[in-house]
Every structure is written in C-alpha cells, then in structure tokens.
A = this chain, B = another copy of it.
Amino acid sequence: AIARGKPVVTANKEALAKHWPEIMARARRRGVPVGFEATVGGGMPVVRAMQRHCSGDEIESFAGILNGTCNFILTRMKEYIVRHLEDREIQKRSLPLEEALAQAQRRGYAEPDPSNDLNGSDTKYKVAILANLAFDTFVDPADIYCEGIWEESQRIVPSDLYFLHHPRYLAGKFALKLVGVAERRYGRPTLRVHPALVEEAGPLGDLAAVSENFNGIVIRGRRLQTQFIKGLGAGPQPTTISVASDVREIATGMLRARAAGASAPGEAALADLPAAGTRRGAALGDVRRVPTRGYLRSFSPDVKGIYARKLEILARHKVNVQSVVNVREFVYGRDRVMPDYIEIDATPDGAVRDVLRAFRRLKNVRDPMYFRILEL
C-alpha cells in the first residue's frame, strides 16, 4: 500500500515491530501516513501518549501489562485460589492455567492458538514498538529478553498463586502479572518481558490493580514523573475503534491539506511519523546486568540433601538467600515433588539465570522458575 502512495493503518504488531525501519523509511519517502494506535493496548491511548504528549519530556522507563489474554488467565487463577484459600482439598480442586485459558477462549479473549500471547511474544512486539517511540530508536524484537507463562519449564501453576495469596505465605502482598519493562540503563534501552510480582501497596500499585482483560502501563518521565494509563486489552472492539480513530485522523488531515491546496495531500497528514532510525536493531543494554530480586520456585521430593544442594548452588553464584519456604499443601505427580520458594536479595539477573540452569541439571529438581519483583 505504501508503495502505491496509500495511507496505512495497521493493527499488525508483529509486522510493524519487525519491519519498523523499512516501513517508516518508505512511508517518509512516499509521504504516506502510518497509523498504528491499534498495535498496542487497543483500549487505551498509549501510542499517542508516547508519541505526542511525552515528546516534551524525556522518558526514563515504562512497565506495562500489555497482553489481555495473560492478564485474564492470571486473574482467574488468582480469584480461584483466593476464593478457596481455606479449602483442605485445594490442590485437587485448583484451577490450572489450561482451564483458565479455556475460559478465556470461550469468552473470545484468546485465539485458538494462544502461543504468542502466552509465551510473551505479543508483549515483546508491543514493547519494541513503544520503545521505538519512547527512546527514538529501532529495537529488533528478537533482541528483547522474553519469558512467558506457559512453556513447559516456565509455567504458572496453582501453587504459585497459593504461595502469593495465602496469609501463611505472602498474603497478597504482590500481584502476579506478565509485564514488559523498558528502562534507560547503561546509556541504552534495556528491555525485558517476564512474569513479575507487582507490590499492591507500593509505587507500582496502579499496575498491580490492573485485572481481568485490561491493559495498563506506567510511564516515567524526567519531568512529568509518573503517568498511568489503563484500558481494555483483549477483544476485537478496542482494536476496531483504534483503527477507526487512526483512519479518521489521517482522513481529516488529508482533507484539510487538500483544502489548503497542498500538492501532495498525504504529506501534510503525516501524523508525527517517527524517525526511521537505523535499519539494524539498536544496541540494547544487557539485561543480565540488571539487579533483580524475587523468588525462585522449583519442585523437588522431600528428600535429604536436596535443599543443601540448591543452597550450595546459590552460594556458588553469590546469590544471597533471605528465606526458603515449602508449600506442603501442594504435592505433584507420582514422585510427590513439592514446590519450594527461595527468596533472594538483589542479584544481577544473569547470575540468577545461571542458578536456574544449574537447578535444571540437578537430579530430582523440576521446573525451576524465577518470579522477579518488579522495580522501576
């Protein structure tokens, strides 16, 4: 369409994120406007907020819940656990991710193939698009560190929600969310997508409160400090409206330009087309160096020596342990593995990932996963 000089309005975040420099350069050359409000957070005006409002400010970071499908699933799993906290049969009657997903599909909040939503790719493309605007660059989405919530070795299970919400354990201090995070660090955009614990009563409490199929984003600027935007995520309605709004804006601009006697109507309607930047992805900050803290979860049978081996690995990687908690209410499978949660102090993210890798090599230890506490 661009080659034929036609304005483009798109909701295809994958194509836009991957081919950003080509699309923007071509559009600029041909004087063709490109609207893409619908690619991120259909029901909230986040693209325009980034594009226009923050143009007078310097954006330092943002963190968003950008996938309505994941958020709906995590909300259902949490609600189920909270409703059944005192049920002695909680494990048998718990709501696994697969069932929450089926609910989402019945309501039309999840695609028949939900892989891109659940493995974080959808969030990754959105982070790339927003980072392009926020940091005036081109980020190759393939360079963004990304963890999801349902890969075989990286799947949220009911005991996670139980541990987070039961008064005996973390008592609802944190909400579990799939987040996309962007920060200026080491002079570079540093980007990551992963499940995270968001403190309910902390400075990111607005984000912790984003539930159901809503999206939400916190944007930190040097001068405007904190902005927060929240709106409907998953669903065809928001997308349609964002597309319609882009179309209308471009059409209005073109009509006016024609009325004003512009020779190339498209040119005048170019809605703040971002710089094309380089054709190769910008160099990103190293997420392995970012200090994070949180909880390491893994499953193991209640046998002698297994905790000692885990703690020994942690010590070897210089990770400080705060506490180790067994959740005895949940015992899985024939070999009766039990989840435990190890709370760690702030550590470079790469060291924690090395620990996870070492855990995976341990006999008897299964599905280690890291729940980072979100801090901005």
Contacts and interface: CB of A to CB of B under 8 A. Distances in A.
Contacts of A150: none
Contacts of A263: 260-261
Contact of A262 (B45, B57, B209, B268): B268
A264 interface: yes
A276 interface: no
Contacts of A206: 206, 209, 230
A227 B245 CA distance: 16
B43 A45 contact: no
Nearest to A227: B231
Contacts of A56: 240-242, 244-245, 248
A267 interface: yes
A16 B237 CA distance: 34
Contacts of A227: 43-45, 229-232
A287 interface: no
Interface string A35-61: 001000001110011001111110000
B31 A53 contact: no
Interface stretch (A118-126, A165-173, A251-259, A329-337): A251-259
Given A52-B249, A56-B245, A228 B230 contact: yes
Interface in A212-251: 214, 223-232, 237-238, 240-242, 244-245, 248-249
A294 interface: no
Nearest to A45: B53
Interface residues of A, number: 51
B249 A268 contact: no
B237 A226 contact: no
B257 A237 contact: no
B224 A43 contact: yes
A184 to B, nearest CB: 18
A359 B205 CA distance: 41
A223 B205 contact: no
Interface in A245-293: 245, 248-249, 252-253, 256-257, 259-265, 267-268, 270, 272
A235 B209 CA distance: 27
A55 B256 CA distance: 18
Nearest to A272: B252
Contacts of A238: 223-224
Please indicate which of the listed interface residues A31, A259, A260 has the most CB atoms of chain B within 10 Å of its own CB.
A260
A237 B260 contact: no
A231 B230 CA distance: 12
A241 B257 contact: no
Contact of A55 (B209, B225, B245): B245
A54 B238 CA distance: 10
Contact of A48 (B48, B214, B252): B48
Interface of A: 31, 37, 43-45, 48-49, 52-57, 205-206, 209, 214, 223-232, 237-238, 240-242, 244-245, 248-249, 252-253, 256-257, 259-265, 267-268, 270, 272
Given A44-B227, A256-B267, 15 more contacts: A52-B249, A53-B241, A56-B244, A206-B230, A224-B232, A224-B237, A226-B230, A227-B229, A227-B230, A229-B229, A249-B272, A257-B268, A260-B267, A260-B268, A261-B261
